[in-house]
Amino acid sequence: MSLALKQVFNKDRTFRPKRKFEPGTQRFELHKKAQASLNAGLDLKQAVQLPHGEDLNDWVAVHVVDFFNRINLIYGTISDSCTDQTCPVMSGGPKYEYRWQDENKYKRPTALSAPKYMSLLMDWIEVQINNENIFPTNVGTPFPKTFMQVAKKILSRLFRVFVHVYIHHFDRVSQMGAEAHVNTCYKHFYYFVTEFNLTDHKELEPLKEMTSRMCH
The verdict on whether residue 82 carries a ligand-binding annotation is yes
Question: What residues does each domain of the chain span?
Answer: 24-215
Of the options 3.40.640.10, 1.20.140.10, 1.20.140.30, 3.30.300.20, the CATH number for the domain spanning 24-215: 1.20.140.30
| CA-wise closest residue to 130 among 16, 6, 212, 35 | 16
Taking phi over 0 as left and psi of -120 to 50 as alpha, with beta for the rest, 169 belongs to alpha
For 196-214, write each residue's pLDDT tens digit: 999 999 999 999 999 999 9
Q: How far is CA 117 from the centre of its chain?
A: 15
| CA-wise closest residue to 62 among 84, 34, 42 | 34
The verdict on whether residue 188 carries a ligand-binding annotation is no
> Which pLDDT belongs to residue 140?
77
Cβ(186)–Cβ(162) under 8 Å?
A: yes
Cβ(105)–Cβ(77) under 8 Å?
A: no
The verdict on whether residue 215 carries a ligand-binding annotation is no
> Which pLDDT belongs to residue 6?
44
For residue 189, the one-letter residue type is F
For 93-112, write each residue's pLDDT tens digit: 999 999 999 988 999 999 99
The verdict on whether residue 87 carries a ligand-binding annotation is yes
Length of the chain as a residue count: 216
Cβ(2)–Cβ(77) under 8 Å?
A: no
| 3-state SS assignment for residue 12 | coil
| CA-wise closest residue to 31 among 59, 52, 57 | 59
- In the DSSP assignment, the letter for residue 142 is P
For 1-57, write each residue's pLDDT tens digit: 444 444 444 433 344 445 555 555 556 666 666 666 555 556 889 889 998 888 999
d(CA 121, CA 15) in angstroms, rounded, equals 13
Beta strand ranges found along 4-154 (DSSP E): none
Cβ(55)–Cβ(136) under 8 Å?
A: no
What proportion of the chain, given as a percentage, has pLDDT over 70? Answer: 80
Element (DSSP H or E) covering residue 160 = helix 147-168
> Which pLDDT belongs to residue 28?
61
Q: What is the pTM of this model?
A: 0.84
> Which pLDDT belongs to residue 41?
56
